[in-house]
Structure 1
């Protein structure tokens, strides 16, 4: 069985790996000149199994208004004349209630927990080195109000058996000793013990090499122009360079760009590109640098240790498909690392990056079958593509090959939007 995978980011490559592992002939198409060149390139590096939550939550509309007026704000909304953008924002607002939050959270945790369970086997099978650690995430609270608000998250973590511990100021310093010199800037934290870290791009490149050894063919520099349809089936993928590429089945794993090839064939997914920023800087003093990963709850900025580097990522910018990295775009993430770990890394050598997160309004990815018999979807993971990659890749591969996946696809498919 020949399967065409569209997209060579972490989602597409993990899907290709699990397809090839089960004996399929696989061809991966990507417009870039190598794997993991877009959203997978320099993301936060967090494997956030315990923090898999939708952005659409009770109280978020009011918080969003306040964020827009912060000096170092975590949210930017550019007033574009874009019906698609405003429709997506309206859909997200409709999910900002307790009932929707719990439903969406449950769906997301189903995928992320499965990914947590299968990831160790994937790493053991392949021997990939990706600066990986599994030492948990520290959600850092600067105010007592944030501590109290975290109790609702603790109830959900209990519901899904996700291990955690509540820490006071000294407990946070025990986990991250580098915070000792700024102890007056926070009051406590919530440590999610099952979470991990790792360089997503290193992982994607390493897994690509394993896929090649297994016979997977990667065709780079191949922008996809359209998907060709006859009746209820896909008959090929038309590329700008190589022309039509054909197979028995097709998987769309193109992240934010999936909608550009799916809309013309009648699959209308509310996947919107939410722009994020990061900087990567070298460690200068290990004793004063982060040891694992933490989330500054005030600024919504993630700080992650990746070997001898520090990755700092954050900001949600709703501005369409812009990939511009302006001169002040990374000011917020630079402020946070300098504020919490002033002696940990060399900000003068920070490398800036921006990428487009494929967000759904309910936070849940879009996985599995589509309206066409031989077209399958693996997109819409938002900020959690790295977290969910192994689980969604394996589950989608099972569905493509006609096997029963280990998790239920109820509420994960595109059908939830058709209704």
Structure 2
């Protein structure tokens, strides 16, 4: 089949790869000048199936009120609130029950674990390089209360068969020798998690996909979709009209605007995140893999000779400014745990819009239009879930039964 993918981030590129491997004729459109130049560009670098958790969780409403008044807050709400923001936030709050959290986390871990397996297989097949490491994730807790409250996460990990270790401060220091163990009381280690530079991966895979026959068309402004009420007939752009047999929406936070004229209400919201990237200047103090600072919701990741520090959730719609206060939070987290490991004077400050659903689970599957599919809404876990999401979508489009359950992943769950 002739397939047109809208979006060349890590989700669009992995989808193109698996569809091309399945024998389809694939074209990818993107407004940027290359692959992976928006949300995929400088994310935290985690491939963390075990840490796949929805932001909507029991106790989050109370925590959110506290966070709003913290100096280094993991959650920031800008004063301009529109109806779409209010609606999304209310929907997210409805998912903050124990039952919904358990259900949502379970299906997120299902996709993420499968995705990690797909990534391992892809790496073995292609030899792709992207500053990858396979040394796990360590979530660290600065208070005993945080450590005592990991029970619900441990239950889901056990149910999913995900290996984990609960460590005291000394155990954390054995795993991450550079960490200042006096700042923490313990941690939760997920040994099967990985790390890697998502942008390097996306650009490398795009090159491999081109070799496999995928056509990438960049610097194209996608303006809308034509349809006949049952099927999509064409994509309208500033460079003309493109047709195909099958169309896939993988535009991240911009997908809802694309599908709204079709009568599709897609609850994906652009939650802004930030990162800084610094060169390592003290190897002994640098992290070995990824350390998740639970207090500030900041991930500190080793990427080759660099440290990537990423996190926070800012409710600000499509605002892309770079306030110094956000950089200060990232700097505070890494310097408090790994003081002097990186050269902060050379920090590269970045922000991106994570396409988040109110239940945390991505939207993967067919829409109400026969030949229009979605692969979006991965939130902070696009890198983690990319290969698995792409593989199951490619299987569904190809008429192959996916290797995991996908019945609860499509937009139909919001009907």
The normalised TM-score by structure 1 is 0.98
Query: Which secondary structure does the structure 1 equivalent of 2:188 belong to?
Result: strand
How far has the Cα of 1:106 moved from its partner?
A: 1.4
Hey, what's the Cα distance between the residues in 2 that align with 1:127 and 1:233? Answer: 39
Larger CA deviation: 312-321 vs 113-122 = 113-122
Matching residue of 2:219? 221
- For the pair 1:290 / 2:265, whether they are aligned, the reply is no
Q: Is the 8 A contact 1:7 1:29 kept in 2?
A: yes
- For the pair 1:375 / 2:376, whether they are aligned, the reply is no
Q: Is the 8 A contact 1:304 1:312 kept in 2?
A: yes
Residues 289-341 of structure 1, C-alpha deviations (whole Å, 9 max, x = no match): 00100101111100000000000001100001111122333110011111111
Matching residue of 1:105? 105
The normalised TM-score by structure 2 is 0.99
Distance 1:176 1:321, change over 3 A: same
Larger CA deviation: 222-231 vs 275-284 = 222-231
Matching residue of 1:272? 269
Query: Which secondary structure does the structure 2 equivalent of 1:189 belong to?
Result: strand
Q: Is the 8 A contact 2:279 2:346 kept in 1?
A: yes
Query: Which secondary structure does the structure 2 equivalent of 1:236 belong to?
Result: strand
Query: Which secondary structure does the structure 1 equivalent of 2:342 belong to?
Result: coil
Matching residue of 2:330? 333
How far has the Cα of 1:105 moved from its partner?
A: 1.1
Q: Report the RMSD for the aligned CA atoms in angstroms.
A: 0.8
How far has the Cα of 1:26 moved from its partner?
A: 0.3
Query: Which secondary structure does the structure 1 equivalent of 2:149 belong to?
Result: helix
Matching residue of 2:205? 207
Matching residue of 2:75? 75
Hey, what's the Cα distance between the residues in 1 that align with 2:130 and 2:339? Answer: 26
- For the pair 1:46 / 2:43, whether they are aligned, the reply is no
Hey, what's the Cα distance between the residues in 1 that align with 2:324 and 2:67? Answer: 21
Hey, what's the Cα distance between the residues in 1 that align with 2:142 and 2:273? Answer: 23
Matching residue of 2:314? 317
Matching residue of 2:127? 127
Query: Which secondary structure does the structure 2 equivalent of 1:156 belong to?
Result: helix
- For the pair 1:364 / 2:364, whether they are aligned, the reply is no
Hey, what's the Cα distance between the residues in 2 that align with 1:342 and 1:40? Answer: 27
Query: Which secondary structure does the structure 2 equivalent of 1:123 belong to?
Result: helix
- For residue 407 of structure 1, the aligned residue among 392, 404, 409 is 404
Residues 349-379 of structure 1, C-alpha deviations (whole Å, 9 max, x = no match): 0000000000000001000100000000000
Q: Is the 8 A contact 1:126 1:207 kept in 2?
A: no
- For residue 186 of structure 2, the aligned residue among 179, 188, 210 is 188
Which of structure 1's runs of 4+ aligned residues deviate more than 4 A? none
Hey, what's the Cα distance between the residues in 1 that align with 2:307 and 2:362? Answer: 28
Matching residue of 1:85? 85
Residues 69-102 of structure 1, C-alpha deviations (whole Å, 9 max, x = no match): 1111111011324100000000000000011111
Hey, what's the Cα distance between the residues in 2 that align with 1:183 and 1:170? Answer: 7
Hey, what's the Cα distance between the residues in 2 that align with 1:403 and 1:160? Answer: 24
Larger CA deviation: 273-282 vs 102-111 = 102-111
How far has the Cα of 1:127 moved from its partner?
A: 1.3
Q: Is the 8 A contact 1:300 1:314 kept in 2?
A: yes
Unaligned runs of 5+ in 2: none
Hey, what's the Cα distance between the residues in 2 that align with 1:72 and 1:326? Answer: 13
How far has the Cα of 1:178 moved from its partner?
A: 0.4
How far has the Cα of 1:231 moved from its partner?
A: 2.6
Larger CA deviation: 396-405 vs 219-228 = 396-405
Hey, what's the Cα distance between the residues in 2 that align with 1:365 and 1:406? Answer: 17
1:225-304 equivalences under 5 Å are 225-240=223-238, 242-304=239-301
Larger CA deviation: 182-191 vs 62-71 = 182-191
Hey, what's the Cα distance between the residues in 2 that align with 1:353 and 1:2? Answer: 36
Query: Which secondary structure does the structure 1 equivalent of 2:138 belong to?
Result: strand
Hey, what's the Cα distance between the residues in 2 that align with 1:354 and 1:184? Answer: 31
- For the pair 1:197 / 2:195, whether they are aligned, the reply is yes
Matching residue of 1:96? 96
Hey, what's the Cα distance between the residues in 1 that align with 2:167 and 2:255? Answer: 41
Matching residue of 2:394? 397
- For the pair 1:26 / 2:22, whether they are aligned, the reply is no
How far has the Cα of 1:124 moved from its partner?
A: 1.4
